[in-house]
Amino acid sequence: MDKKRTINIRNPRLRQIRNNLRTVILKANWSIQHELLDKIAELKSIEGYYENLPPNFLDEVTHLKDKGKKIERALRASILLCPVCFQTDKDMTYNPVRKTWYCTECYAELRNGFTEEGRPEEFP
Ligand SMILES: [Zn+2]
The 10s digit of each residue's pLDDT in 81-102 is 999 999 999 999 999 999 999 9
What are the structural domain ranges in the chain? Answer: 5-122
- Residue 106 CA to ligand 1 centre (angstroms): 4
Average of per-residue pLDDT values in the chain: 88
Is residue 103 classed as helix, strand or coil in its secondary structure? strand
Residue 57 pLDDT: 75
Q: In what order do the strands lie in the sheet with 5-7?
A: 5-7, 92-95, 100-103
Dump pLDDT digits (tens) for 8-52. Answer: 999 999 999 999 999 998 898 888 888 888 888 887 787 666 666
- Residue 36 CA to ligand 1 centre (angstroms): 27
- Residue 74 CA to ligand 1 centre (angstroms): 17
* Residues by chain with Cβ below 5 Å of ion ligand 1: 82, 84-85, 103, 106
- Residue 90 CA to ligand 1 centre (angstroms): 8
